[in-house]
Amino acid sequence: MQFELPAPRTTFDVALEDGARIRVRRHGRLDGIRLLLTHGNGFAANAYFPYWQHLLADFDVLVFDFRNYGQNVPVVPPHHSYEQFVRDLERVVQDVKSRLGEKPTVGIFHSMSGRTAMKHAIEIGWRWDALVLFDPPNMPPPGHPTYDAMAAFEKRLTAWAKARRRSFSTVAELAEEYRQSRATARWVSGAHELMARSVLRQSPSGNGYELVCDPENEATIYAQAMTLNLWPSAKEFAGPVKLIGCDPNMKGSTTGPANQALGAEGDYDYSFVAGSGHLLQIEKPQECVRLTREFLVRSGLA
């Protein structure tokens, strides 16, 4: 199986404070409730199409990548940090409103972007009618029962990203790496190729392909997780938030138990997707869509 994304209804670039740009793609139903949707560290929003394809019939879906990822041209200096991502997200939100007008808007974020959305909502302001957060890998406070496992997890990811291969002769080479990895083996059929297409660009040298997000930038984001001090309760947000984690009972799961703890301690509307790992929207897309829709119905947004 191969996923073929529909052509966007429109695209536009959001200018960021340092001259970088974020390309926004609009899909779906123009008169629907607006969804802003993006990705986790090292990935790209188009690769989540196994999930968001099921929302196109009913919602106005705006898909975008953070700076130095996906369809955006990497910038130098990269200004690749959570603090910058928070400001970039505010630019995207305000530009979308300016171009397309005010209407009910939901943010749907995974992992790195989930952390960013949480920081943005707390530090800059609530810009949403609701937020859906898929498995944000927040670090609990030191001494928490899940702290040591999460700290070790982030350190492993940082080391892995620093040593990651950055260049490929063909897109198929990276797709095969994804298929052979335990962390990504459970993705639905066709998702490995789609992800490879989404995170690679033709090399400026003209020889083969390279990762849009440099391994050094990816590693920086994993390492910054240790410094964010981000373990908020649901009441810190000015609107409804749905927290959806991966399966906390899966062998080797780290983010699953952390999000289960955050959900209970922070009094969130929390669910987990049985049998899923951290990339749950690509492993169990229909179950993730079901939980999304149920939450939006309860929130009066579907």
Does a cis peptide bond (omega within 30 degrees of 0) precede residue 50? no
All residues at 6 or more sequence positions from 155 whose CB lies less than 8 Å from its CB, including other chains? none
Which pLDDT belongs to residue 75? 97
* Residue-wise pLDDT tens digits, 99-130: 999 999 999 999 999 999 999 999 999 999 99
Q: Which residue(s) pair with 200 in the sheet?
A: 211
DSSP string across 32-51: SEEEEE---TT--GGGGHHH
Q: Name the CA dihedral angle for 197, 203, 208, 213, rounded to a multiple of 10 degrees.
A: -40
* Angle value at C-alpha 70, between 289 and 224, nearest 5 degrees: 85
Instruction: Give 10-141+230-298's CATH code, choosing from 2.40.70.10, 3.40.50.1820, 1.10.3720.10, 3.40.190.10.
Output: 3.40.50.1820
Could you list the pLDDT tens digit for every one of the 302 residues in the chain? 799 999 999 999 999 999 999 999 999 999 999 999 999 999 999 999 999 999 999 999 999 999 999 999 999 999 999 999 999 999 999 999 999 999 999 999 999 999 999 999 999 999 999 999 999 999 999 999 999 999 999 999 999 999 999 999 999 999 999 999 988 999 999 999 999 999 999 998 889 999 999 999 999 999 999 999 999 999 999 999 999 999 999 998 999 999 999 999 999 999 999 999 999 999 999 999 999 999 999 999 98
- The label of the residue with tokens 């898929």 reads 134
- The label of the residue with tokens 């990822």 reads 69
Residue 106 structure tokens: 């939901």
Which pLDDT belongs to residue 205? 83
Question: In the β-sheet with 59-64, what is the strand arrangement from edge to edge?
Answer: 10-15, 21-28, 59-64, 33-37, 105-110, 130-134, 241-246, 269-273
DSSP string across the chain: ----PPPPSEEEEEEPTTS-EEEEEEEE-TTSEEEEE---TT--GGGGHHHHGGGTTTEEEEEE--TTSTTSPP-SS---SHHHHHHHHHHHHHHHHHHH----EEEEEETHHHHHHHHHHHHT----SEEEEE---PPPPTTSTTHHHHHHHHHHHHHHHHT---EESSHHHHHHHHHH-TTTTTSPTTHHHHHHHHHEEE-TTSSSEEESS-HHHHHHHHHHGGG------GGGSSS-EEEEEE-TTSTT-SHHHHHHHHHHHTT-EEEEETT--TTHHHHSHHHHHHHHHHHHHHTT--
